[in-house]
Structure 1
Amino acid sequence: MEKLGKQKNIERLNKVTHTVRSSQAILQYGVGAMVDFPDQTLMTAAPEYWGTRVSRIHDERLEKALQVDYFGMPGSSKYKDDWGIAYTRFPEWYFCPKCRVFQPMKSWIKEYTKKATTRQKENDPNMRRPRCMECRQGLVPSRMVVACTKGHIDDFPWVKWAHEKNVTGNKEICTNPRITFETGTTATAGLEGLNVKCKSCNARATLKGAFDKDAMEKLGLRCSGRMPWKNHSVDCNEFPRAMQRGASSLYYPKVVSSLVIPPYSEKINEQISSSKGFEKALNYIGECDEPERQENIKKRLDRWSEEISIELSADESVIKNILMRRLLEPAANDSTLVNASGLQYRLEEFEALSGKISVINLNENDFVREETDIDLYGIPFVKDVSLIHKIREVRALTGFTRITPSDANEIGEKIPGFISVKEPKTRWYPGYEVRGEGIFIEFNSGDISQWLEENDESIHKRIKIINDHYQASYQGEFTSRVITPKFVLLHTIAHLLIRQLSFECGYTAASLRERLYCSEPEDGFEMSAIFIYTASGDSEGTLGGLVRQGYWDCLPRTFKKAIEFGELCSNDPVCISSKGQGRDALNLASCHSCGLLPETSCEEFNVFLDRALVVGTFEEKEMGFYKEWLRVR
């Protein structure tokens, strides 16, 4: 079992000088990711090092699905100088841009300790701002690291590379290597113009070939199994790959999101979550060992219910029922547990968004829905439109992968190379919440089924290409997921609509997100819907611009424009005739000019898209789902 190392090299930095937004701390700069600050590069440490300096946020459904007590959002206002996030120094190798000395941070700190004044050492004993004491220059972090597909990461083997790749042929590593990082004397471009030199023995090597996939294997260097974010290492037999420090493929966060829906959005739930009595209960539960946890909760449930009811001046029986629902979780192997990325979880949201939950619950603090008269819209194949004036979404960082992204539908250990951000005993994940608005569009499943029957051969020929590419990809080796025509259709319509809405509603495409609700006949229930909502907003939500575009006098025009826009791409005929483009060739007729969105807006990281299913191809116009509507100009 993996464990945490001692709390050395873990730093808390002033939030004025070293800060990231709460959303960034969960997404691109989450646990295990490197953050480039003006004076140095740091890696976000495991949440166990953050302490209690986070704001607790709650979503009962997601807490049960992930089996935690709460989600911790960095940036608590209780602490003026502390942002709540802990960092560790990585990469550890830094060089001076003036004297070109290149060495680990511990060597730089040793020099600092020798040459710094007494006052400097008293104020800053660990040299929080890396600098060369000889040249009075700020240090520059190494631009290269090595990582493996199991999520481990380490510094590039500079000493070994300089000697093993020595241009003189002498591969012996000297006893006291002193490395410098220099550019070539000629105008040679690329890695061949960068030199790593040992001043002790004059060994010199260029960085040519350092980024080859088998470069470390040729060097005989196996992965160190290092995990700097938790100050720990494990055994690993992989051969790592050299990568640029800022490469996007170095960190793929696995973020699970959830909409807070009735009855969980009722105001009393939020009041309980923010009460002192509930915080006290969670602190107690966090200290309990796993076997006795449920029994201890049952013993104290009446006392907690009484304390919270007095604090909130609320009905004790109501409080007790909610606490029972929230705290008495099912066992890990219980069949009632719902996968946060699964269909059953989405079905609960679908029923709330489509109005299948009792109306008495729908005018709540975090969820406000308005029904519309679909007869006024006149959009073909659209069964219903709901306007969601208020919605709260909670997003939790559960883990990450390196080098290859994870499948959106897989969670936890099912993901190859997945690294959890927390230890098994830790009862919370880093997370944040967003309040916003959205448009929910439900399609007629019968119309989609009829379209599939009429164009069965043409459609399945295209979908087979996507599935073949998916099975041939790295992800396909580890999943049984099958991409269906209905899913690709709904997904592509959502992308086209988001692109058009970004011109109409005042939000950029990056500020909007999609959420897909798609089921197949064998699932036993019908879902054929898309939900487009704002991906960012303050504590009070957004200004209503998106919902305004959902009314009958706006949405039909916007929807028609979106479909017409998808009919022709500036890269046609190349795009519409494509047999595979994008990551792992998982898109057909969809490129950056017509169907792709910012990756944060898409649930599937911009794959499984095909305009041809919506508008047809030049040769097969009849295949398009909206072929008839396009004929009406």
Structure 2
Amino acid sequence: MSQPKARRSQLISTYGIGGLFPSSTTSYMIAGLHEWKEDRAEPLSEPRLARSLKVVALKQPPAGGRKDVPVIRFPYTQVCPSCRRIGRLHELSKDWNIAECSKDKQPLNPFRLILACRRGHIDEFPYFQWLHRGQGKAGSDHLMKLEARGRTSSLADLVLTCTCGVENRNLDGAIGPLADFGTCRGSRPWLGPETEACEEIPRVLQRGASNVWYPAVRSSISIPPYSEALSKFVDRHWPLLADREVVTPALLARVAELSDGKYSVDQIVAELDRRRGEEQEEDDLSEARLRSGEYSALIEGRDEEDIDADFVCLPRDVPADFDRLITDVRKVTRLREVRALYGFSRLEGAGGSESNLCPLAPTHTNWLPAIQVIGEGIFMAFDRDELARWADKSFAKDRARMLKVAADRNAEEYGHAPKHIDIVEVAIHTLAHVIIDQLSLDAGYPAAALRERLYVDDNMAGLLIYTASSDSAGSLGGVAAMAETDRLGNALAEGLVRLSWCSSDPVCIESKGAGSDALNLAACHACVLVPETSCEKSNSFLDRALLFGTRDGGNESEGIFSHFVASAVGA
């Protein structure tokens, strides 16, 4: 049997722990961290992100060997494409480890349907009960088959039969809540055979549905001093040096020798003291504090002093037409992002409720799987006071009120805490999408290769558009080059003028609720929506009217860039 293969990045974002991995004619589930070969996982240096996730280390998923990442077969229910028998693998195959029909010698196919609940449990579809419910058991012989009528690929054309004599029944109507069969059994196969109590009503899903697995990923940009070569060197040896009691002059001398003379004992000691002090001060390093530190580092900038550094950020002048709102521009010629998987959810996105996140192991582990990507980008900071004055106007407050109604309705429907609506963040978020769309034209990158990173709270307002990809569209210099004053000014002007009108207007600009769960206002696929991988908020909380105003009620001049667009179009 050939071994299934996946890229490291897929084990964080697509087929992570508890997720389903399709391979040839079968399907697997990635097992929990307790089953991984930790010694085969390469450490990643990003102490700030590790501390924020309450772990000691971050490590890249093993790669390059056989059976480095353990999997289990799921679903266990199989169907023979030849004789159409349906059953558990051990019932249809002579060898439980080989998915092959013992009768027809044909590869077995995993069943299309599975069960899942909002607490993250996942289970086999009860095909036997589905057919026999309300009909009793006409006989003792139960050889079941799944017949395909072949007219369409719908569930209505898949018919369950049994030799016991009960009436045949198709799978039409199976998708959705399965209330007739009791509550969820609490199955967590990625953690082992043990179950836990659960009162949720399970839902029937297609095995390949996108809501079977939502990753909870936290990321961080490496900033000085952690992006410097000395910090990364000390981090590699941190397990030996973390405990002050066991650090001896002989150990320090040995570690210095491992640097091949690049660092002295005094330099290593100074770095150890700095790191220990920061860990005591930043015991609870939240994601908000991670962003605040990155924002400060981007504002401060960093020259290319160390060729081994992962962070180079050069100041550039603000384009003249935008200096009323934009205060700083940075050309980020080198950055490193680390993304770590710390949980997942099912049925609804991981951002819905942290309490519904599923664990990656039965007990707390001291490490998490993570990947690193290298890229470049453009950073812009905005005048927070100017944005606050704009947000205090009735137009902005009315738009915030409409989004708040939709967010509260969404929270009530899915049972999670209501989201706070910061209308400044919505405006900056929408502008980030405008820039991504324009850079995909001017910089030569596909939009899916660009990502946004927002820095918005009561004290800061900024955005970073960057490439951080492991494929060929990673770091070619095209995005950073657009930070030069003239190029950035032209790109902003063209993007704003072009997207001030949408081919779906006036329907788009007058929308009172669009997108997933109506969490957008004036935003659609013809204007500011971008690929899901590019957006931090899954293409939600967008409103083009905040940038350009609306054509009704005399609000044409109420957008942040209304005056610029009006003058540009008039010119």
Q: TM-score, normalised by structure 1?
A: 0.83
SS in 1 for 2:368: strand
Give yes or no for the alignment of 1:183 onto 2:148. yes
Amino acid of the structure 2 residue aligned with 1:178: L
Structure 2: distance between partners of 1:59 and 1:201? 63
Q: How far has the Cα of 1:269 moved from its partner?
A: 2.0
Q: 2:118 aligns with which of 149, 168, 172?
A: 149
Indicate conservation of the 8 Å contact 1:496/1:563, yes or no.
Answer: yes
Q: 1:217 aligns with which of 179, 192, 211?
A: 179
Indicate conservation of the 8 Å contact 2:114/2:125, yes or no.
Answer: yes
Aligned twin of 1:385: 329
Q: 1:533 aligns with which of 466, 477, 487?
A: 466
Aligned twin of 1:469: 406
Aligned twin of 2:32: 46
Alignment of 1:249-260 (within 5 A): 249-260=211-222
Q: 2:129 aligns with which of 160, 163, 166?
A: 160
Aligned twin of 1:352: 297
Indicate conservation of the 8 Å contact 1:362/1:368, yes or no.
Answer: no
Alignment of 1:257-336 (within 5 A): 257-274=219-236, 277-278=237-238, 281=240, 297-302=243-248, 304-312=251-259, 313=261, 314-323=263-272, 326=275, 336=283
Indicate conservation of the 8 Å contact 1:614/1:626, yes or no.
Answer: yes
Structure 2: distance between partners of 1:48 and 1:176? 41
Query: Residues 139 and 621 of structure 1: is their aligned pair in 2 closer, same or farther, counting only changes over 3 Å?
Result: same
Q: How far has the Cα of 1:137 moved from its partner?
A: 1.5
Kindly provide the CA deviation profile for residues 366-409 of structure 1, in whole angstroms up to 9, marking residues without a partner as x. Answer: 0111111236675551111100100000000000111011328x
- RMSD of Structure 2 on Structure 1 (CA): 2.7
Kindly provide the CA deviation profile for residues 349-370 of structure 1, in whole angstroms up to 9, marking residues without a partner as x. Answer: 00111116x8697876101111
SS in 2 for 1:230: coil
Query: Residues 382 and 554 of structure 1: is their aligned pair in 2 closer, same or farther, counting only changes over 3 Å?
Result: same
Give yes or no for the alignment of 1:226 onto 2:187. yes
Kindly provide the CA deviation profile for residues 292-344 of structure 1, in whole angstroms up to 9, marking residues without a partner as x. Answer: xx8xx23223365343223223322332343455578968xx974111x22x2
Query: Residues 529 and 364 of structure 1: is their aligned pair in 2 closer, same or farther, counting only changes over 3 Å?
Result: farther
Structure 1: distance between partners of 2:296 and 2:152? 63
SS in 2 for 1:71: strand
Give yes or no for the alignment of 1:605 onto 2:538. yes
Indicate conservation of the 8 Å contact 2:115/2:123, yes or no.
Answer: yes
Aligned twin of 1:29: 15
Query: Residues 261 and 175 of structure 1: is their aligned pair in 2 closer, same or farther, counting only changes over 3 Å?
Result: farther
Give yes or no for the alignment of 1:196 onto 2:160. yes
Indicate conservation of the 8 Å contact 2:332/2:378, yes or no.
Answer: yes
Structure 1: distance between partners of 2:161 and 2:326? 67
Aligned twin of 1:118: none
Indicate conservation of the 8 Å contact 1:406/1:416, yes or no.
Answer: no
Which deviates more, 301-310 or 587-596? 301-310
Alignment of 1:104-123 (within 5 A): 104-109=88-93, 111-112=94-95
Amino acid of the structure 2 residue aligned with 1:94: Q
Give yes or no for the alignment of 1:500 onto 2:438. yes
Q: How far has the Cα of 1:90 moved from its partner?
A: 0.5
Q: TM-score, normalised by structure 2?
A: 0.91
Q: How far has the Cα of 1:443 moved from its partner?
A: 1.3
Q: Which runs of 5+ in 1 are unaligned?
A: 1-12, 114-125, 283-293, 409-413, 521-525
Indicate conservation of the 8 Å contact 1:442/1:530, yes or no.
Answer: yes
Q: 2:136 aligns with which of 145, 168, 171?
A: 171
Q: How far has the Cα of 1:528 moved from its partner?
A: 1.1
Indicate conservation of the 8 Å contact 1:301/1:323, yes or no.
Answer: no
Indicate conservation of the 8 Å contact 2:373/2:469, yes or no.
Answer: yes
Q: Identity of aligned pairs, percent?
A: 32
Aligned twin of 1:236: 198
Query: Residues 540 and 534 of structure 1: is their aligned pair in 2 closer, same or farther, counting only changes over 3 Å?
Result: closer
Amino acid of the structure 2 residue aligned with 1:544: G
Aligned twin of 2:42: 55
Which deviates more, 607-616 or 379-388? 379-388
Give yes or no for the alignment of 1:630 onto 2:565. yes
Q: How far has the Cα of 1:172 moved from its partner?
A: 3.6
Aligned twin of 2:518: 585
Amino acid of the structure 2 residue aligned with 1:19: K
Alignment of 1:470-485 (within 5 A): 470-474=407-411, 477-479=415-417, 481-485=419-423
Q: Which runs of 5+ in 2 are unaligned?
A: none
Give yes or no for the alignment of 1:245 onto 2:182. no
Q: How far has the Cα of 1:589 moved from its partner?
A: 0.3
Query: Residues 360 and 498 of structure 1: is their aligned pair in 2 closer, same or farther, counting only changes over 3 Å?
Result: closer
Query: Residues 360 and 301 of structure 1: is their aligned pair in 2 closer, same or farther, counting only changes over 3 Å?
Result: farther
Task: Report the count of equivalent residues.
Answer: 560
